[in-house]
A and B are shown apart, each in its own frame.
Chain A
């Protein structure tokens, strides 16, 4: 059971916008930054979003992050086939004194 809650799956057609949610609590998302990662099969995770809505260089601006209270969201617009993969959210947890992850969301491009 993951500390952060994500839907197990999400899907959309090419060109559409899809949103992946991440629910936490005051000890993690509510008081700390959130980051998002993409993981393709048999590869290491890749950082997509940090500090709620900052993108590392090379990550397109059709990806965006947001936060409201103890929840965060990752939005992907202009969906493309190579967006398929697993997406994870993460945050520092003040009670656990460690980083907590969501269980991951498998994104399928129809």
Chain B
């Protein structure tokens, strides 16, 4: 199993960023996929989950209305569209399959 996040970087407050997580080594379309994050020096925070068929999505209150999770089962990829970014969204973002496999993370820094 391999999960590889990409799309992180430095972005100004109020702007948008889209993260991608490319998966391999398992039947992608059979699993829920999660996004989580970890602010510098802080603990883990769950961000969002999408069901295997993409019909159900759940979000943490802290990102609801600003972030959107989606997936493309033909590309074995899950996405996190992040809009209206704030300084407090600065973190390493991880994707995870059933929490038993995690990517290496991608750093998002929101700063002017």
Inter-subunit contact B100/A47 (CB<8 Å): yes
Inter-subunit contact A90/B102 (CB<8 Å): no
A44 to B95, CA, bound (A): 10
Of the candidates B44, B60, B105, the one having the most CB atoms from chain A within 10 angstroms of its own CB is: B44
Number of cross-chain contacts by CB at 8 Å: 46
Tally of contact residues, B, Cβ under 8 A: 17
Q: In the complex, which residues of chain B have a beta carbon less than 8 angstroms from the beta carbon of A90?
A: 44, 46, 99
A88 touches which of B43, B100, B102, B103 (Cβ 8 Å): B43
Inter-subunit contact B99/A47 (CB<8 Å): yes
Q: In the complex, which residues of chain B have a beta carbon less than 8 angstroms from the beta carbon of A39?
A: 44
Pick from A11-19, A60-68, A71-79, A94-102 the stretch touching chain B: A94-102
Contact status of A45 and B43, CB under 8 A, knowing A98-B58, A99-B49: no
A35 to B36, CA, bound (A): 15
Q: In the complex, which residues of chain A have a beta carbon less than 8 angstroms from the beta carbon of B104?
A: 44
Would you give the shortest CB distance from A6 to chain B, in whole angstroms?
9
A101 to B44, CA, bound (A): 7
Q: In the complex, which residues of chain B have a beta carbon less than 8 angstroms from the beta carbon of A56?
A: 100
10 shortest A-B CB distances, which residue pairs?
Answer: A99-B46, A44-B102, A104-B43, A47-B100, A101-B44, A103-B43, A97-B58, A88-B44, A98-B58, A98-B60
Please give the residue numbers on chain B whose beta carbons come within 8 Å of chain A beta carbons, in ascending order. Answer: 34, 43-46, 49, 58-61, 94, 99-100, 102-105
- Given contacts A47-B99, A96-B60, A98-B59, 17 further A-B pairs with CB under 8 A are A37-B99, A44-B94, A44-B103, A45-B94, A50-B99, A50-B100, A88-B43, A90-B44, A90-B99, A98-B49, A98-B58, A98-B61, A99-B46, A99-B49, A100-B46, A101-B44, A101-B46
Can you list 15 contacts pairing A with B, beta carbon distance less than 8 Å? A35-B99, A44-B105, A45-B94, A45-B102, A46-B102, A50-B100, A88-B43, A90-B46, A97-B58, A98-B46, A98-B58, A99-B49, A100-B46, A102-B43, A104-B44
